[in-house]
Structure 1
Amino acid sequence: MFKDSDNEEGREDVTEHGGRIRSFKHERGNWATYIYVPYQACDEFLDLLDELVSVAADHKVSMHKMSEFHISQSQTVVLRHHWINPFVQSLRDRLRSMSRFHCIADRIKVYTNQEKTRTFLGLEVTVGMEHLMEVVSDVDQSLQEFDLQTFYPDPSFHVSLAWCVGDAVGKLDGSCLKELQKALDRFENSETLTCFYAEEIRCKTGNKTFCIPFQ
C-alpha cells in the first residue's frame, strides 16, 4: 500500500557499531524502526546484570551490557521518512483500547540474531505472553498496512541483558546456563526485579521515539 522505490544508498562505518553488522543496507531517507515495551532498570537490576555477566566471563564469554532494556514487539524494519507519522498514528489507533498488564521475565535464555553475528543473554517472559501476543497482533496489522515485515510467528518474548559478537550459544548453553539461572534465583529480590507492568509501547525510528501509553 505504501511502497516507495527511492534508492539513494549511504555509507556505513562498521567501526561505529562495535563490529556489529547491520542486517540491511543504510539508505538515505530510510529510518530503521522497531517497536518495543520498555523495562525501567533500577540499581539492583544492574547489580544482578553485573553478576550474570561475571558468570558468563567465568565461561570465557565476554559480554557487553545493554544500555537500555525492553521486550521487542517487532523486528527492525525500514520506514521512509514520510511514512513515520501515518505509521505511528496507525499504531495509536489500533492500540488505543489496550490496558496495561503484568509481566514476569524470570527464565535465563540464550538467543542469536538471524545472521548468527551476535549472541544475546536474555530474560524470557513466563507470565504475560498472551497480552504481548495481543500487542504484536495489532502491531503486525500496522506493519502489513505499510507492506513491512511482521514479527516472528512463534516469538520468545524476552528482555535482552547483554550481547557479544558471533555465535556463542555453545559456550553459554549447558552448565553455564544452569549457573546463570542459579545466580538469578538466589539473587536478593530477584522476584521483584523480574516482575513489572507493561504500561506503554514505544516506536523508535531513527533518532525519534514515540510513546503510546496503555490504559
Structure 2
Amino acid sequence: MLVGYSSSSEEEEEEDRRAGTGPKNSGSRECEAEEEDGNDGCPVRKRARTEEQVTKTRLPVPGCLLAMFPDEVDTQNDDSSLHGGRIRSFKHERGNWATYVYVPHPPEEEFVELLEELLSAARARGVVLTLQEEFHLSLSQTVVLRHHWIQPFTRSLRADLAHCKRFVCSARKLKVYCNAEKTRTFLGMEVCSGHVQLLDLVRVVDRTMTEFHLDTFYKEPSFHVSLAWCVGDVTAQMKECVQELQRVVDEREDGPFLLRLDGAELRCRTGNKTFRFPLES
C-alpha cells in the first residue's frame, strides 16, 4: 500500500508540473538563479558566477615573461619635456622603429675640451646649446622600419657592405643645420676630406634602402658630425655667431683643431638595437 501511495504522489506531481501549478524541480531552481527579468519582461541570463570569480582572481603577467618579448612593449614616450623639448620627426607607433646608418665617433679628451669652449662662446652670444649624447656621421636619413623587417634589412646591409674598405675622413669647418620640421637647430662640423669614400658608402646603403622602399640619402649631402643642438629654428641667430665659434676651432694653442674619423666600421641603429658592420682593412 505504501508503494502505491508513492506512485500516486509522483503521478500527481508530474501532472502538476505539466499544468504549471506544481513545484519546480531543482534544475528549474538553478535556471531561476541564473536569470532575471529584463526591461521587456523577458529573462536575461546573468554572467556565470564562476566566470566572475575567474575575472576577479586573474593574476598580472610576471615581469620576467614580459621581458621575453621587449619588442611588443611600448617603451617610447612622446612627452617632449622628458627629452629636453625635442619633438619627434614622426609619431611613434608600436612596431615602427626609427632607423639610420652612421659612422661612430668616440670623443677624445681634446674634442671634449673644444666642445666646452664652443658652448661657452655660444652662450656669451645668447645661444644656449645642448651637447649631443653621442657623436657620429650619418650615412642615411632616419627612416621608419617595421619590426619584422629588421632581420632581413640588416642581413641585406651586411651583405652589401661586406667588401667595402675602411677609410679615414676629417672635419674642421663649423656649419649650422636645421631639420626639415624646423624643430631643432644643430651646430655641426663639416667633412673636409674623405668625401669620395663617404659617397661610395652612401650608394651601398641606398641599395638596401631602395630594396625595402625606404628613403635614400640626400642627393648632395653635407657630411658632418653634429656637435650640439637647441630647440626650434634659430638658424639666423646661430649663423651670426658661427664665425666667432670658428675662431675657437682655428685659434687653439696647439693649432687648428681637426676632427679625425676612423671609418673602421659602420653601425645601424634601429630602435634600441645597434648592429655593427666592420669594414675590410
Higher CA-based Rg: 2
Q: Which runs of 5+ in 1 are unaligned?
A: 1-7
Percent identity reads 54
| Structure 2 counterparts to residues 132-151 of structure 1, below 5 A | 132-151=198-217
Structure with higher RCO (Cα < 8 A, 6+ apart): 1
Query: What is the alpha-carbon distance in structure 2 between the residues aligned to residue 152 and residue 139 of structure 1?
Result: 12
Select the residue among 20, 30, 33 that pairs with 2:99: 33
Q: Deviations over 1:38-80 (max 9, x none)?
A: 1111121111000011111111000000111000011111111
Q: Which runs of 5+ in 2 are unaligned?
A: 1-73
Deviation at 1:193, TM superposition (A): 4.7
| Structure 2 counterparts to residues 190-201 of structure 1, below 5 A | 193-201=258-266
Larger helix fraction of residues: 2
Number of matched pairs:
206
Q: Is the 8 A contact 1:52 1:183 kept in 2?
A: yes
Q: Is the 8 A contact 2:249 2:257 kept in 1?
A: no
Deviation at 1:13, TM superposition (A): 2.1
Q: Is the 8 A contact 1:59 1:171 kept in 2?
A: no
Runs (4 or more) in structure 1 with deviation over 3 Å come to: 188-193
Larger strand fraction of residues: 1
The worse-fitting range, judged by mean Cα deviation, of 101-110 and 11-20 is 11-20
Q: Is the 8 A contact 2:172 2:257 kept in 1?
A: no
Alpha-carbon RMSD across the aligned residues, in angstroms, is: 1.6
Counterpart in the other structure of 1:213:
278
Counterpart in the other structure of 2:176:
110
Distance 1:188 1:207, change over 3 A: farther
Q: Normalized against structure 1, the TM-score is what?
A: 0.91
Q: Is the 8 A contact 1:63 1:163 kept in 2?
A: yes
Query: What is the alpha-carbon distance in structure 1 between the residues aligned to residue 210 and residue 164 of structure 2?
Result: 20
Q: Deviations over 1:94-120 (max 9, x none)?
A: 111111111111010000001111000
Counterpart in the other structure of 1:3:
none
Q: Normalized against structure 2, the TM-score is what?
A: 0.70
Deviation at 1:191, TM superposition (A): 5.3
Q: Deviations over 1:162-215 (max 9, x none)?
A: 0000111111113x1111111001224565651232111100001100010111
Q: Is the 8 A contact 1:31 1:79 kept in 2?
A: yes
